Structure 1
Amino acid sequence: MALQQVILVRHGQSEGNVAAETAMRDGLERIDVPARDPDVELSETGRQQASAVGHWLSELTDGERPGIVWTSPYRRARQTGEIALEQAEMELDFKVDERLRDRDMGITDMLTGAGIRKQYPEEAERREWIGKFYYRPPGGESWADVAGRVRAVLADLAQERHEIALVTAHDVVNLLFCYVAEGLDEEAVLERSRTNGLKNAAICRLVRDEDSPTGWRVTDYNLDEHLRREDVEVTDQPGAADAVGEGSDERGDDA
């Protein structure tokens, strides 16, 4: 039987999330990330969050459990899946797909909104004019570019022989999975990002629906009860990517 469901998990809090929050809190121009983006690891809190995802998986019935994991190649995303499966005592194959990686920020990588406005004022102006969804920093990607990656992955996932797949990826990637599945427009997805952005280790669920124009339906979005049940800190933190502010909104995409 073909794939019927996708469980999306944003990675747990990373060391990059912590560094970005510190930089923005202190008004710094540069984010002191501990490693290149693909190598950023989970913080201790992030590991606890990933373990809570594992508890959630262990409580699923046999018919609700995933049969394979598709993961971003970035270490924090794969660690989240590995810790969760170990906690759930589940052994699944991992399929690493570079299309699930975090958004590439090009020349603005590792800069806060203040840093971008200081070093690349013309880029800050261009982004304000074009808008967050379609703005592509030099050498980087727009949200629309990432949405194209997501559409390609979702088409391939639809051919998966397992009925349920677990996807461990990043904030903007998972948000855009829901954008594609629900057929949202630019305004709607940006509003969701501002008002209901994905928490670290939050869970979303997509279900095949032949009556839907997209062929998919979002049945769960931004679930965090598993974190609260395990008394794990719930975090919704900016990342070292896309930290250009929109007015008072300085929330980054991910890290």
Structure 2
Amino acid sequence: MTLVITAVRHGQSESNVAFEEALRTERAVVLEGRDRDVSLTPLGREQATGLGRRLAVGDPPDLVLCSPYRRAVQTWELAAAELGAAPEVRLEPRLGDCDMGRWSGMNPIALRERFPGESENLVARLYGGFRPPEGESFQDVADRVREVHEELRAGHAGRRVLIVAHDSVVLMLKHVIEGIPIASVEAFAPVGNASVSVWRGSRSEIFNEVGHLRGTRTR
């Protein structure tokens, strides 16, 4: 029997807004608090509700694996209210966002100011295996995502699994499931807030779909 995985990114978060505004105004930003504690914005909550309506179309999931980060949990809770079903739900730490370590909460301008030369071309370097101090590379994310995927293939064949997580996790799922080289996955970014991606076995059916969010901003 074929494993069907639907992966969604959380709705717009407070850090998404802060970083977008910093990019627009070209200023350095360093967010306080833990990345895992960042919440959804009002728009993010609206997106999560729209996501729930989209997931309610067709066969609902019978197993949900959710990142323990607050923004992912909030997204699932709001989406679940629209489903009309009660699937098995597990918080899965291996589906957390890419850990930027001591660089967490800093936008590129802040990184350049604090670590001249070290943070140049950071995204490309993360795909290439670079780890920020006490943090992770995208290969590290791929390794933990692969563990989860192998467990699903071995123990949950035939189930409809929903993964509620982050852009880095969705991209690494594409790498792991489809066998796309990790350096090539960057071409599929950015993954939109509250977007939907679906794999049936090793075949991609949908990737980064946001049509259900018409009428709202998707980032």
1:43 and 1:84 map into 2 onto residues whose CA distance is: 15
How far apart, CA to CA, are the structure 2 residues paired with 1:161 and 1:143? 27
1:21-60 to 2 correspondences below 5 Å? 21-32=20-31, 35-60=33-58
State the Cα RMSD in Å.
Answer: 1.9
Distance change in 2, residues 1:174/1:36 (3 Å): same
Name the CA distance, whole Å, in 2 between partners of 1:76 and 1:125: 28
Counterpart in the other structure of 2:210: 224
Distance 1:5 1:186 in 2: 22
Q: 1:179-194 maps to which residues of 2 (within 5 A)?
A: 179-193=175-189
Does structure 1 retain, via aligned residues, the 8 Å contact 2:194–2:210?
yes
How far apart, in 2, do the equivalents of 1:83 and 1:107 lie? 31
Contact 2:99 2:136 in 1 (8 A): yes
Is 1:199 aligned to residue 167 of structure 2?
A: no
TM-score (norm 2): 0.92
Q: CA deviation at 1:161?
A: 6.3
Alignment length (residue pairs)? 217
Report the CA distance shift for 1:125/1:23 in structure 2 as closer, same or farther (over 3 A).
closer
SS at match of 1:132: helix
Give distance in 2, aligned partners of 1:18 and 1:125: 23
Q: Which runs of no fewer than 5 residues in structure 1 stay unpaired?
A: 209-215, 236-255
Matched, 1:131 2:129: no
Q: State the TM-score, normalizing by the size of structure 1.
A: 0.79
Change (3 A) 1:127 1:48: closer
Task: Give runs of aligned pairs for residues 231-242 of structure 1, distance below 5 A.
Answer: 231-235=215-219
Residue matched to 1:169? 165
SS in 1 for 2:132: coil
SS in 2 for 1:6: strand
CA contact (8 A) 1:9 1:174 kept: yes
Structure 1 SS opposite 2:204:
strand
Assess if the C-alpha contact under 8 Å between 2:67 and 2:73 holds in 1.
Answer: yes
Between the aligned partners of 1:56 and 1:200, the Cα distance in structure 2 is: 14
Please give the secondary structure, in 2, of the residue aligned with 1:131.
Answer: helix
Look up the SS of the partner of 1:80 in the other structure.
Answer: helix
CA 1:162/1:185 → structure 2, altered by over 3 Å: closer, same or farther?
closer
Closer, same or farther: CA 206–126 of 1 in aligned 2, 3 Å: closer
Separation (CA, whole Å) in 1 of partners of 2:65 and 2:199: 14
CA distance in structure 2 between the aligned counterparts of 1:82 and 1:48, rounded to whole angstroms: 12
Say which SS state the counterpart of residue 102 (structure 1) adopts.
coil
Which amino acid counterpart does residue 186 of structure 1 have in structure 2? I
